[in-house]
């Protein structure tokens, strides 16, 4: 806790015949971050033909999975599946070698790919034909206003017949230009539509070449006449009949696709996940180096995993491997990957720290402090027992539903659950239960503080909390800098503000204890001198930066007033909802009391809305107080996050065949 996981560097050299097996072991173990080997005496490794095939098959199987998923009948979904996602069954694959896996995939594809693609082809062809028929029906609907036989709208050996639409404001100009080009040697039939003209133009073959540029000039949109004989209305009946036949055919093909999905989806998705992981393994090969007989890789892993990993490598390589474990060197500080290490109940809060950035290897991990202060700030801003209870219930449901996944939702729900306890506790202190609902109902609610009546007191508490929070940050920064041998920076950049904050606290206390005023002045003076000295290293800009940085500190401190502001907003919104309910509660229409029903609906809807909107505000502003005001006092977040070489398994499980 407070420090990242201790890391070790591992170098491995072994025979080339063990490479695939060793990479697979590390991939499944998921505890080593593989780095690029910097060796000039050996050549970079590269994917062989089997890994290249894996990448290719990953793409082709992905298309099959997408097609089958689109026609899969799945139960559930919606809110229930979000709250309680089903646990996916995992199928085990006994891994012998990449060559054997590729053979198995090829055998599977040989069996199912032609069948799936045949149905996919029929489905696409049928859908294309349906779209063509629908387009023809739309054209015929347009032509029906002319009531001309479709045969008469098709060109002959001597005549060129053009059917199309033109914008209303271009129609007259088009007619005039045609007369100028071909004279009276054309016939036109037109029908005015909403914003266009529908035109049938008949030209002699010899005149059409002259007329065609004019048609293009005026943007005539040509209409392709559908096949068939009779009036457009007659053909619409025929085409509707064809449409129904094709839709019936489409339904049959979809049934085939659904059957294929039922038969092959799970297996296809299984092989797709296997290929995706092999493709992931292939991408890491460029970090390795090799000779004709050997290969080498290097990486980082947590120290606690070293014995297990070393033993696994020895077994896989039959003790034919050189393994070198080294502690990090000072010059490698920026290269060491960071894996946060915290107790289980704090671990979900690592998500918030990682959103900003992980610490460097020689910095403090702020997660343990953030777990408390973030939850406290959230509760202070929401400040209502019933709101906290609602948030806690929702969080508990999500934790239970996502327990088997351990995903982001599960971690976020833990943060909300932890925060809900502070919200309920502070709700009791502030006597807030859906705002002032209990007061309006005639109950006496004890409260130590009243957000609305004692806003100034709440503001003072918020600013005091801000000073404490920032002091903790500067103290942590002071300790880190002292530990890392940065004595000058610790004194000038951290201790200066620690003294100034201490002086502010003593000034406040001195109102009741006048003797502390002198000590406060001395401490403030010492802190301010250190602060000025820290600014003087900026040369000519020092004077401006002294003013800017000092008032920047004041601005950061005053930013904690948002604790009071959001607590006030929560109380205010809840109060407005309660007042509106009170106003409509007694409305009656004759003997029927509709105010009661409307009031219940408004109360439930309004309070749930208030819970949601104020929880969102508390979440965002609590983060801001940490990312800007708190982290700005000591934390860089410039560490390099630990990204282990790890398989992604949702429906597959690999069993490594050591005997292979």
Q: Is the pLDDT of residue 77 over 80?
A: no
Environment class of 33 (CB within 10 Å of its CB; exposed 0-12, middle 13-18, buried 19+) = buried
CA distance 205 to 209: 8
**Domain 1-45+288-339+642-660 shares a fold with domain 155-224:** yes
Environment class of 554 (CB within 10 Å of its CB; exposed 0-12, middle 13-18, buried 19+) = exposed
pLDDT score at 201: 94
Distance from first CA to last CA of the chain, Å, rounded? 42
Q: Is the pLDDT of residue 660 over 50?
A: no
pLDDT score at 325: 96
pLDDT score at 540: 57
Q: Is the pLDDT of residue 639 over 50?
A: yes
* pLDDT average, residue stretch 486-490: 91
CA distance 49 to 549: 60
Q: Which residue has the higher pLDDT, 635 or 79?
A: 635
Residues 6+ apart with CB under 8 A from 158: 204, 205
Which tokens in the block code for residue 339?
Answer: 């894996």
The residue count for the chain? 660
What's the CATH number for 1-45+288-339+642-660?
A: 3.30.70.240
pLDDT score at 594: 86
- Do 577 and 610 touch, CB atoms closer than 8 A? yes
Counting residues of the chain whose pLDDT is more than 90, the rounded percentage is 78
- Do 134 and 243 touch, CB atoms closer than 8 A? yes
- Do 430 and 373 touch, CB atoms closer than 8 A? no
**What pLDDT, in 10s, does the model give residues 540-570?**
566 667 778 888 899 999 999 999 999 999 9
CA distance 337 to 325: 16
- Do 227 and 187 touch, CB atoms closer than 8 A? no
- Do 66 and 264 touch, CB atoms closer than 8 A? no
**What pLDDT, in 10s, does the model give residues 33-53?**
999 998 776 788 888 899 999
* pLDDT average, residue stretch 123-133: 96
CA distance 319 to 346: 40
- Lookup result for tokens 């054309």: 186
CA distance 376 to 380: 6
CA distance 363 to 3: 7
Q: Is the pLDDT of residue 642 over 50?
A: yes
* pLDDT average, residue stretch 311-324: 94
Query: pLDDT band at residue 658, thresholds of 50, 70 and 90?
Result: low
CA distance 377 to 468: 13
Q: Is the pLDDT of residue 305 over 80?
A: yes
Determine phi and psi for 540, rounding to 5 degrees: -65, -20
- Do 167 and 193 touch, CB atoms closer than 8 A? no
* pLDDT average, residue stretch 152-170: 92
**What pLDDT, in 10s, does the model give residues 347-402?**
999 999 999 999 999 889 999 999 999 999 999 999 999 999 999 999 999 999 99
Determine phi and psi for 110, rounding to 5 degrees: -60, -30
pLDDT score at 75: 55
- Do 383 and 636 touch, CB atoms closer than 8 A? no
Q: Which residue has the higher pLDDT, 451 or 604?
A: 604
CATH architecture of 155-224: 2-Layer Sandwich (3.30)
Cα 462 from chain centroid?
33
**DSSP-assigned states of every residue in 18-68:** GHHHHHHHHHHH---EEE----SSSEEP---HHHHHHHHHHHHHHHHHHHH
Determine phi and psi for 73, rounding to 5 degrees: -90, 110
- Lookup result for tokens 């690999």: 654
Query: What is the residue extent of each domain of the chain?
Result: 1-45+288-339+642-660, 48-135+241-275, 155-224, 347-640
Q: Is the pLDDT of residue 538 over 90?
A: no
* pLDDT average, residue stretch 183-194: 90
Of the listed ranges 57-66, 148-157, 470-479, the one predicted with least confidence: 148-157
pLDDT score at 657: 76
- What is the overall mean pLDDT for the chain? 92
* pLDDT average, residue stretch 115-129: 96
């Amino acid at each position: 806790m407070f420090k990242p996981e201790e890391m070790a560097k591992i170098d491995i050299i072994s025979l080339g015949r063990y490479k695939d097996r060793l990479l697979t072991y590390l991939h499944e173990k998921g505890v080593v971050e593989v780095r690029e080997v910097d060796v000039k005496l050996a050549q970079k490794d590269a994917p062989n033909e089997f890994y290249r095939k894996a990448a290719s098959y990953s793409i082709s199987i992905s298309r099959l999975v997408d097609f089958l998923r689109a026609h899969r009948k799945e139960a559930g979904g919606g809110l229930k599946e979000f709250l309680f996602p089903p646990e996916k069954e995992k199928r085990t694959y006994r891994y012998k070698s990449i060559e054997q896996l590729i053979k198995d995939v090829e055998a599977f594809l040989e069996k199912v790919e032609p069948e799936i693609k045949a149905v996919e082809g029929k489905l696409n062809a049928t859908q294309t034909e349906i779209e063509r028929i629908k387009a023809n029906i739309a054209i015929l609907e347009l032509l029906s206003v002319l009531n001309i036989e479709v045969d008469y709208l098709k060109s002959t050996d001597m005549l060129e017949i053009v059917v199309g639409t033109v914008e209303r404001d271009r129609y007259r100009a088009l007619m005039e230009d045609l007369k100028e080009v071909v004279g009276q040697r054309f016939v036109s039939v037109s029908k005015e539509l909403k914003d266009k003209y529908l035109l049938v133009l008949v030209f002699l073959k010899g005149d059409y070449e002259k007329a065609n540029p004019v048609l293009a000039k005026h943007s005539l949109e040509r209409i392709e006449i559908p096949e068939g004989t009779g009036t457009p209305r007659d053909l619409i009946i025929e085409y509707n009949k064809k449409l129904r036949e094709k839709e019936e055919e489409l339904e049959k093909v979809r049934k085939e696709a659904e059957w294929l999905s039922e038969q092959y989806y799970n297996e296809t998705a299984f092989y797709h996940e296997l290929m995706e992981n092999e493709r992931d393994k292939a991408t890491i090969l460029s970090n390795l180096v090799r000779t004709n007989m050997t290969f080498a890789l290097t990486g980082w892993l947590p120290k606690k995993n070293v014995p297990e990993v070393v033993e696994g490598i020895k077994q896989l390589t039959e003790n034919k491997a050189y393994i070198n474990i080294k502690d990090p060197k000072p010059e490698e500080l920026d290269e060491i990957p960071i894996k946060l290490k915290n107790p289980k109940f704090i671990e979900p809060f690592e998500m918030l720290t990682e959103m900003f950035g992980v610490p460097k290897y020689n910095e403090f991990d702020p997660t343990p402090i953030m777990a408390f202060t973030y939850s406290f700030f959230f509760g202070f801003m929401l400040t209502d027992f019933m709101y906290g209870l609602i948030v806690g219930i929702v969080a508990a449901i999500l934790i239970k539903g996502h327990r088997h996944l351990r995903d982001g939702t599960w971690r976020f729900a833990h943060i909300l659950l932890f925060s809900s306890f502070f919200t309920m506790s502070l709700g009791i202190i502030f006597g807030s239960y859906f705002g002032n609902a209990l007061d309006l109902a005639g109950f006496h609610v004890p409260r130590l503080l009243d957000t609305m009546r004692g806003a100034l007191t709440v503001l003072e508490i918020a600013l005091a909390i801000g000073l404490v929070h920032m002091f903790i940050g500067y103290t942590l920064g002071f300790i880190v800098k002292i530990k890392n041998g940065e004595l000058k920076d610790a004194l000038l950049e951290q201790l200066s503000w620690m003294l100034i904050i201490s002086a502010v606290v003593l000034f406040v206390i001195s109102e009741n204890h006048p003797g502390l005023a002198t000590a406060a002045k001395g401490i403030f003076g010492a802190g301010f001198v250190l602060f000025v000295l820290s600014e003087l290293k900026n040369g000519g800009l020092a004077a401006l930066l002294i003013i800017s940085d000092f008032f920047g500190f004041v601005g950061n401190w005053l930013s904690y007033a948002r604790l009071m502001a959001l607590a006030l907003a929560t109380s205010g919104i809840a109060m407005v909802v309660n007042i509106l309910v009170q106003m409509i509660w007694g409305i009656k229409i004759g003997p029927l009391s509709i105010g009661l029903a409307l009031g219940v609906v408004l109360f439930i809807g309004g309070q749930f809305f208030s819970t949601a909107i104020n929880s969102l505000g508390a979440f965002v502003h609590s983060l801001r107080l940490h990312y800007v005001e708190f982290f700005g006092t000591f934390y860089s977040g410039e560490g390099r996050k630990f990204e282990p070489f790890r398989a992604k398994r949702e429906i597959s499980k690999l069993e490594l065949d050591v005997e292979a």
